[in-house]
Amino acid sequence: MDTLMLAVKIVITLLVAILFVQNIALVEVRFLTWSARMPLALLLLVIYVLGMASGKALFQLLSRLRKRRPHH
């Protein structure tokens, strides 16, 4: 089982590396008055990290709300 998990991790890592290498073109990102040019791969990474952080924060908020609510 450990060998299978290692193989899966290696395949996923290789796929992510290919994704980043193939998406190094610069893109312009605009948000309200802010604008920046960055590689598409970096933008994907930033969006992924922001999604993880917001998902974790939402999960923690929902967990706290469930613990506070009295059971009927």
Query: What pLDDT is stored for residue 18 in this prediction?
Result: 92
DSSP state of 23: T
Does 72 have pLDDT greater than 80? no
Q: Are 40 and 25 in contact (CB under 8 A)?
A: yes
Gap between the Cα atoms of 15 and 36, Å rounded: 27
**Residue-wise over 12-49: b if at least 16 C-beta within 10 A, else e?**
eeeeeeeeeeeeeeeeeeeeeeeeeeeebbbbeeeeee
Q: State pLDDT tens for residues 20-62.
A: 889 889 999 998 999 999 999 999 889 989 999 999 999 999 9
